[in-house]
Amino acid sequence: MNHRMPITRRAALASFGAAIAAPSIRPSFAQAAPIRVGVLHSLSGTMAISETALRDTVLMMVEAQNAKGGILGRRLEAVVVDPASNWPLFAEKARELLAVSRVDVTFGCWTSVSRKSVLPVFEELNGLLFYPVQYEGEEESRNIFYTGAAPNQQAIPAVEYLMSADGGSARRIALLGTDYVYPRTTNRILRAFLISKGIPESDIMEEYTPFGHSDWQGIVSRVKRFAGEGKKTAIVSTINGDANVPFYRELGNQGIKAEDIPSVAFSVGEEELAGIDTRPLVGHLAAWNYFMSVDSPANTAFKTMWQAYIRNPRRVTNDPMEATLVGFQMWAQAVAQAGTTNVDAVRTAMYGQKVDAPSGYTLEMHRNHHLSKPVMIGEVQADGQFNIVWRTPGPIVAENWSPFIPENANRRRG
């Protein structure tokens, strides 16, 4: 423990510790080898805008757990690597964590292409990865626990909201995404869903851009023309990383207001908005399973802990941070229950783990390695926060195999 820690930070860590599994035995840390926690997030490159906060969330949780005595009497030690938004490098760094650093668990990845890159490494070496970001589904690995949303826990409810009277009764949808597996597969699901709801192909626009794309003038102009043909239109954004900054700036430049063409984002939260003038974006939407503005005791504790840890009372929390926290808490509980960090034993102990999450709901890990999660729609406010305008009554069980993907429609989904 860092005995020079400011009292406010120490108190925040201690107060949050009650939600983390207490160790079953407490020998001194010097008597046992540390539990090594891998952190596999981009700290440079196009995805650093989103992933750096997740690195810091894991480090915060490691520090908090050590302040409570570790797990099984053992100190936790974070091993941080930077795959630098380079998808093949993710696989190399994953192998380094598992084969060289011998980590007991890894928290990491944001994009699906990074997760796809590391998946065979984790399966080959029987590692354990906690993946904290919404994704396209169509996957289930015994070596990954998915703590972000599947499409039925984010994308489909968001489009249903846009088509509802409360969401603007959209009948034309512009699907704008970054050119990789998550946006393309998610939009394949959404296209099939929209057609099932009577939306013709001619009323669905679909465009993709590379990571880091900065020139949005032409695409936003095409969206305006698409919306000017007499039907209520909405934008569904699966744009990832720092490309969101010029995209939202261009919406503002071209005067696209939420009351005219609402947009809903699946990869933009409080952290991304922190670097944008949000005044032109007021009323645009995001769909997540958590917002910083949630009013719950667990969320108050989370925000207090985070701002004390990061030593900045203005730093925001967001959905992937909450998913990281929930995954860490469940993993700590599973290790304590199993009495070991052995991957096979911890995997079995993970099934049925529950956490009272900052979202205000009790989340549970199911045997398909996915969480039950609530769905929330938030409106951008001028201060960069979200006003929650709609939410599900309770958590929804993940359908990681979508019924809208024909080749996987008959696979187990819950």
- 73, pLDDT greater than 50: yes
Amino acid at 155: A
State the alpha helices, DSSP H only, in 68-146: 87-95, 112-125
What's the DSSP call for residue 74? B
Specify the pLDDT at position 31: 75
* Mean pLDDT confidence for 286-302: 98
221-238 burial: b if 16+ Cβ within 10 Å, else e:
eebbebbeeeebbbbbbb
In the CATH hierarchy, which top-level class contains the domain 152-293+377-408?
alpha beta
Domain regions of the chain by residue span: 7-149+295-373, 152-293+377-408
* Mean pLDDT confidence for 59-79: 97
Indicate the range of 27-31, 96-100, 408-412 predicted with least confidence: 27-31
**Please, what is the Cα angle at 333 between 293 and 26, to 5 degrees?**
120
Protein fold of 7-149+295-373? Rossmann fold (3.40.50)
Per-residue pLDDT band at 8 (split at 50, 70, 90): low
Per-residue pLDDT band at 27 (split at 50, 70, 90): very low
- Fold equal for 7-149+295-373 and 152-293+377-408: yes
Report the distance separating Cα 384 and Cα 382, nearest Å: 6
- Alpha-carbon separation of residue 282 from 54, 155, 250, 279, 385 (angstroms): 26, 21, 14, 6, 10
- The reported pTM is 0.90
Per-residue pLDDT band at 13 (split at 50, 70, 90): low
Specify the pLDDT at position 26: 46
